[in-house]
Structure 1
Amino acid sequence: MAPAAEDDPFEDVRDQASNPMRRLFVGYGRAYVPYFLIGVLTSMVARVLDLLPPVLLGIAIDSVFREDVPFDARIPFSWLPEAWVPATQTGKFWFTAGVIGLSFLGAAGFHWTRNWGWNAFAQKIQHDVRTDTYDEMQRLDMGFFADKQTGELMSILSNDVNQLERFLNEGMNSALRMGVMVLAIGGVLFSLNWQLALVALLPVPLIAGFTYIFVGIIQPKYAAVRSSVGTLNSRLENNLGGISVIKSANTEPYESERVEDVSFSYFDANWDAIRTRITFFPALRVLAGIGFVTTFTVGGLWVFRGTAPGPFTGTLETGAFVTFILLTQQFIWPMAQFGQIINMYQRARASAERIFGLMDEPNRIAEAPDAQELTVTEGEVVFDSVTFGYEAEPIVEDLSFRAESGDTLALVGPTGAGKSTALKLLLRMYDVDEGAIRIDGQDIRDVTIASLREQIGYVSQDTFLFFGTVAENIGYGVPDPEDEAVIEAAKAAHAHEFITELPEGYDTKVGERGVKLSGGQRQRIAIARAILADPEILILDEATSDVDTETEMLIQRSLQALTADRTTFAIAHRLSTVKDAETIVVLDEGRVVEQGTHEDLLAEGGLYANLWGVQAGEIEDLPETFVERARERLADVPAED
């Protein structure tokens, strides 16, 4: 089990969660106290009504059939007005039968209301916890998501939240049932014969001690199970997302083995917990059975002989003994179920630790308490000595450049130079470690994140489309876009032509992550999305990397109109697409090594000129130092460009 815990990416998160179950009830249960009270009160009434038939059966045996005890001397009939109690034996018989029937009907009604109350309480809390967890999670910085797998996060939002719902519904319902039954049955048994009641309660201390030991053993095992579930989900999600790569690489057997490995780790962790659980529950039954057998033996001898056995005193009627046997069974069963309740509680606690630990995960992108709305008047963007790194090693270092209002600034350089990272800093996907980024003189750390991102349009090289229609994806992020505006944006991105040829046009479903469209089609839809948003600042991160030359030419022409009156940042490996930019900034190993226009940089004969030579096919004319440096860069490319 140790390896599973060590591999748990949320181990540190779990450790941060304090009093998770108390937080669940106080933080979320308080809003739904009425449903909780309905569940509690109706459970109590239903359980009391469940006890009436065996009590009435004992009365009937002693007072109706044998006439050993006066009918109105036995509880609950002793509480009734004398006029309500029939005088004849036949009347008493039918009266008892009627009360038994009404108790069953009443119990059924209260059980329905009990289930409604508990389910409403559990379902509403489940909904709130899941939505709050997702809301907190999506506000975290990108560094958090770089460290966590999607399957692990899905496991928390789905499996862990469902574990809480199960405990809130089934576990708490069973716990209350056990408490009511133990107290009510104990009260009835003591009222009938306190000496025999003590015999029936003999297993209770043993059950309590045995359960205490079980809790200490099972808790770490369930933590390991929750961890292994997340790992399994991550593997399955990863493989399903990359199914086309698996098929094209013919690696189905290899991936089946990897799934088998993580599935077996889950099996191993779960089976370890199951072995502990299935050993504990039968042991509880044995302890509970000891109480029942002892009660039956002592009570049976008492009735059979007509005198109290051993140290006991007094008499025991036959009906009372029958009631004792029937109620002892109902008393012992809840006690044996105590382990199931503890089992559900420990599962829920392990899940609550992960949920609230995730909620409490600190966001490294903190918004200043006095943050103001960003006001873009000119659109001037300045990088002032910006340094940033994920760990100790910086990815970009001492970046300084300026994008004038309405200009296009291109970032170029080898793979891994830090181009995409620099522009994600502008979006505050990450925060700078040193220096500052300013828009019209406003430090982006001093403005609200929402207002910052509202002013910036971002077209990524890794185009993501949501499951839905083409129109929905183009209009994503724009409240209630007009159909005409969506179509105009698609035309500007040269996407209208292929969209109209789709089976249902703009209403065509694009599939998971846009799988039904080609890479070029997905990019044009992403560009149309940015055009529709009409931002003040535009970021094009390899926006035409997946399109053919003709489509690229058409998109570039539409982008010229789009970028004419707004500040634009463009990342491109195809230098021909950015040669007309007002400023070209050349990055290498996270630093600015050159800066100027296309003509100026070619005249310098530096890195940009060499990269241009590569794309112009002038391979033989490249200096050997550049070729050797390219080999070194390819051998050590950072994770983030």
Structure 2
Amino acid sequence: MSGVDWDEDDPFEEQREQVESPMRRLIVEYGRPYWFAVSVGLVGSVLARALDLLPALLLAVAIDAIFYDAAFAEQVPLSALPEAWLPATQDGQFWFVVTAIAASFAFGAVFHWIRNWGFNAFSQSVQHDVRTATYDKMQRLDMEFFANKQTGEMMSVLSNDVNQLERFLNEGMNSATRLIVMVVGITFLLFWLEPQLALVSLAPVPLIAIFTYLFVKKIQPKYAAVRSSVGKVNSRLENNLGGINVIKSSNTEGFESGRVEDVSRKYYDTNWEAIWLRIKFFPGLQLISGIGFVLTFLVGGYWVFTGSGPGPITGELAIGTFVVFIMYTQQLVWPMAQFGQVINMYQRAEASSERIFGLMDETGRIERDEDADDLEVREGRVEYDHVSFSYDDESAAADESASATESASGENSSATETWGRSDPHPADRIIDDVSFAVDGGDTVALVGPTGAGKSTVLKLLLRLYDVDDGEIRIDGQDVRDVSLSSLRRAMGYVGQESYLFYGTVEENITYGTFDASREEIVAAAKAAEAHEFIQNLPEGYDTMVGERGVKLSGGQRQRVAIARAVLKDPDILVLDEATSDVDTETEMLIQRSIDDLTEDRTTFAIAHRLSTIKDADQILVLEDGSIVERGTHEQLLENGGLYSHLWGVQAGEIDELPQEFVERAQKRQARTEVDADVDD
């Protein structure tokens, strides 16, 4: 089992199909600020390639004028110069030609350097801007986008696709300029020297054009498939490296090697199809180009040897002209063959730019008003007014199964809210007509079975998603009417998996509050019961925690995350199972930190262990996206509903649970497993 459905569409196919003229857009939007660099590169390339053509012409002058006594001043290109500039003696003419050839190489080297500087400065600058703009756009997208895309696929866009653009903007544009100058310049000079022989030398050009057109038509879809397969390989590798602890502890290295081999084989097969087409194209193109060289040598040699041209060709052909035709035709073979390489790079860059701009054009359900007023938190009162929400398509399974690590929790009910109701909300709704209010400074806990919608309720408060119906208000202000930055500045979040960035302990505590002093950092760490263990680390607050904080235990990571929230001093605190994965002793320490942190501030807590929220001012019990119970811990136990049964599970009173509760739990578990399989 590879874990990847290769029959699925490219994950960015929908975005790519909406992009028009991606390469033109790339140049217009990102290349324009660097017009000077690319202009220098183009001018340097044109002059460098023009000087590359000069030695062959001067060699023809030396052969005909110096060694065969032809008129020196009448030779191409000397005929364009004033006769007074040209030496009259044979020795002078010889040294004139030598000097001119040496100068052409010297100035050519200078212009090659200028060309390289210009194109490299242009391509590197555009690459930098595209990568940073793409990342900035990506991190601002809704959470629904991330629910439908794998990290490896997005890394492929930021890395491989952006690098493909840089390669074309540097090597591709450089080669294209060289090709144009060489083909146009050589064609012009050949017709200037001898039009009849020029027609013979350039006879294969129409065949090359047709051959290249067919290649482009066939290679374009293959490169799109290659770009997609690269993303799938990256996703598999990223998933496996992120889960290396599970792989090792499960002794499944062989199984995962097989899955990597599967995705790598698909990439191999897809890429090989494109390579096989290139393998056939480039030698064929070189063969056709070589026909021009053979024809030139055959016709020109016969012309020089016999003194008259074959067939309809008339006049005489000088030996120097014949030599320069041979040299130019040989020089023309490689640019003609290289034309396919340019097309190759262009097609790769176009496929990559489609994915990049497809991502950058992605729109979300959250509307951002840059002119919106900032949120003003006065009391911290939060109201949910008939809130309903549903995910788009497969986002539901992806996001809710991510929250499925929540174990059975519970919530509460009023007289009109009945657990085990027979009229469930519409199947596509994750949250259905949820209403409640939290006074400023109060703590409300959300409990309920796995997949009940607890995390989604709080994500709506943070505007990671927007409600479909209803309103969420903070001190009377609809969260959709205030700026996102001010809304999230007012929020502090401590999650079940406390993510730490690669860096020091201090850098992780100050993340989001970057101007904090060391005294403030230490005070926050003490409040989070983290200061003592931090001091025992090898470098204290300057200790590197490793990627994702792997050098710290789960409890230590969570206390660092709590210290981060303490330092931020938010008006509203969101705790998403902040003590779910720690031992009892560590939970006691963390709970002490949380109790201090929640004092006098509006707090929302999702609970795995119901004992941690029994003192909450209000407990909401969710099932299937709706509130089925609400009240205090004591009230809910007296009601004998879902909350009391969940409490009984954690108290070990399993034999006393009603059969209805057990049957509903079995159905919920089966549904959760199906959702997890779909997400895989």
| Common topology (TM > 0.5) | yes
Q: Which residue of 2 aligns with 1:438?
A: 473
Cα shift at 1:236: 0.7
Partner of 2:324: 323
Question: Any idea what SS the aligned residue of 2:672 has?
Answer: coil
Instruction: Establish whether residue 159 from structure 1 lines up as the match of residue 194 from structure 2.
Output: no
Which stretch shifts more, 610-619 or 320-329?
610-619
Q: Which residue of the partner structure matches residue 607 of structure 1?
A: 642
Corresponding residue of 2:620:
585
Instruction: Write the distance in 2 (CA, Å) between the matches of 1:335 and 1:560.
Output: 75
For 1:637 and 1:47, the matched residues in 2 are separated by 66
Cα distance, 1:548 vs. partner? 2.3
Q: Distance in 2 between matches of 1:273 and 1:553?
A: 60
1:124 aligned onto 2:159:
no
> Structure 1: 5+ residue runs without aligned partners?
none
Letter in 2 for 1:137: M
- The one-letter code matched in structure 1 to 2:243 is G
2:73 matches 1:38: no
Amino acid at match of 2:590: I
Does structure 1 residue 360 correspond to structure 2 residue 361? yes
Deviations 1:121-140 (A, max 9, x none): 11111111111111111111
1:370, distance to aligned residue in structure 2 (A): 5.2
Q: Corresponding residue for 1:221?
A: 222
Query: What is the CA–CA distance in structure 2 between the aligned matches of 1:231 and 1:406, rounded to whole Å?
Result: 47
**Paired residue for 1:519?**
554
8 Å contact kept, 1:586–1:608:
yes
Deviates most, 393-402 or 621-630 = 621-630
Q: Is the 2:370–2:483 contact (alpha carbons within 8 Å) kept by the matching residues of 1?
A: no
Corresponding residue number in structure 1 for 2:404: none
Q: Look up the match of 1:193.
A: 194
Is it true that 1:205 corresponds to 2:240 in the alignment? no
Instruction: State whether residues 4 and 227 of structure 1, in contact with CA within 8 Å, keep that contact through their aligned partners in structure 2.
Output: no
TM-score by length of 2: 0.92
State the partner residue of 1:345. 346
Note if contact 1:469-1:506 (Cα within 8 Å) is conserved in structure 2: yes
Rounded to whole Å, the distance in 2 between the matches of 1:626 and 1:143 is 32
* 1:176 pairs with 2:180: no
RMSD (Å) for aligned C-alpha atoms: 1.5
Shift of 1:4: 4.9
Instruction: Find the aligned partners of 1:269 and 1:322 in 2 and give their Cα distance.
Output: 46
| Other-structure match for 1:472 | 507
Alignment of 1:561 with 2:563, yes or no, is no
CA shift for structure 1 position 479? 2.6
Which of 3, 10, 13 is residue 11 of structure 1 equivalent to? 13
Q: CA deviation at 1:5?
A: 7.0
Greater displacement, 631-640 / 135-144: 631-640
Q: Structure 2: state its 5+ residue gaps.
A: 394-426
Alignment of 1:415-426 (within 5 A): 415-426=450-461
Could you tell me which residue of structure 2 aligns to residue 138 of structure 1?
Answer: 139
Q: Residue type matched to 1:457 in 2?
A: G
Structure 1 contact 5–227 (Cα < 8 Å) conserved:
no
Instruction: Report the counterpart of residue 631 of structure 1 in structure 2.
Output: 666
Letter in 1 for 2:32: R
- Show CA shifts across 1:395-440 (max 9, x none): 2211111110111111111222111111011001111111111100
Counterpart CA distance in 2 for 1:486 and 1:528 is: 8
Provide the C-alpha distance between the structure 2 equivalents of 1:76 and 1:314, rounded to a whole number of angstroms.
20
2:411 corresponds in structure 1 to none
Q: Which residue of 2 aligns with 1:379?
A: 380
State whether structure 2 residue 435 is matched by structure 1 residue 400.
yes
Shift of 1:369: 6.3
Which amino acid in the other structure matches residue 386 of structure 1? Answer: V
> Structure 1 length as normaliser, TM-score?
0.97
2:524 and 2:564 in contact (8 A); partners too: yes
Query: Across the two proteins, how many residue pairs are aligned to each other?
Result: 637
Q: 1:429 to 1:408 in 2, by over 3 A?
A: same
1:51 to 27, 50, 53: 53
Percent sequence identity is: 67
Q: Any idea what SS the aligned residue of 1:498 has?
A: helix
Write the deviation string for residues 94-133 of structure 1: whole angstroms up to 9, x where unpaired.
Answer: 1111111111111011001101101111111111111111
Return the alpha-carbon distance in structure 2 between the equivalents of residues 313 and 194 of structure 1: 11
Give the alignment partner of residue 578 of structure 2, picking from 518, 535, 543: 543
Measured in 1, the distance between the counterparts of 2:261 and 2:71 equals: 71
| Counterpart secondary structure, 2:313 | coil
Letter in 2 for 1:347: R
Tell me how far apart the structure 2 counterparts of residues 624 and 324 of structure 1 sit (CA, whole Å).
96
Output the CA distance in 2 between the equivalents of 1:386 and 1:432: 7
Partner of 1:257: 258
Corresponding position of 2:234: 233
Distance 1:620 1:6 in 2: 46
Contact 1:43 1:111 in 2 (8 A): yes
Measure the CA separation in 1 of the matches of 2:307 and 2:653: 115
> Match of 1:26?
28
SS of residue in 2 equivalent to 1:293: helix
Match status 1:534 vs 2:572? no
SS in 2 for 1:328: helix
Give, in whole Å, the separation in 2 of the partners of 1:416 and 1:489: 34
Q: Does 1:504 align with 2:539?
A: yes
Distance 1:279 1:560 in 2: 71
Question: Where does residue 114 of structure 1 map in the other structure?
Answer: 115
Select between 226-235 and 411-420 the one with higher mean Cα deviation. Answer: 411-420
How far 1:615 moved relative to its partner?
2.2
1:257-281, CA deviations, whole angstroms, 9 ceiling, x for partnerless residues? 1111110100101100111111011
1:412 alignment partner, one of 447, 455, 462? 447
Question: What letter corresponds to residue 591 of structure 1 in structure 2?
Answer: S
Q: Deviations over 1:139-168 (max 9, x none)?
A: 111111011000000001100111111111
Q: Runs in 1 of length 4+ with deviation above 6 angstroms? A: none
Distance 1:369 1:454 in 2: 15
Q: For residues 6 and 205 of structure 2, what CA distance do their matches in structure 1 show?
A: 36
Any conservation in 1 of the 2:76–2:193 contact (CA below 8 Å)? no
AA of the residue aligned to 2:530: A
1:594 counterpart = 2:634? no
SS of match in other structure, 2:467: coil
**CA distance, structure 1, for counterparts of residue 162 and residue 376 of structure 2:** 41
Q: Matches of 2:553 and 2:657 in 1, distance apart?
A: 35
Letter in 2 for 1:435: G
Structure 1 residue 624, shift from structure 2 partner? 2.9
Q: Is the 8 A contact 1:140 1:364 kept in 2?
A: no
For 1:138 and 1:564, locate their aligned partners in 2 and report how far apart those are by CA, in whole Å: 33
Structure-2 residue corresponding to 1:247:
248
**Structure 2 Cα separation of the partners of residues 379 and 431 of structure 1:** 20
8 Å contact kept, 1:139–1:363? no
Deviations 1:263-317, CA, capped at 9 Å, x for gaps: 0100101100111111011111111111110011111111111222221111111
Does 2:656 align with 1:621? yes
Q: Which moved more, 1:80-89 or 1:407-416?
A: 80-89
Tell me the distance in 1 between the aligned counterparts of 2:112 and 2:199. 30
Q: Which amino acid aligns with 1:590?
A: G
Distance 1:358 1:455 in 2: 30
How far apart in 1 are the matches of 2:521 and 2:356? 39
Contact persistence 2:489–2:570 (CA under 8 A): yes
SS across alignment from 1:568: strand
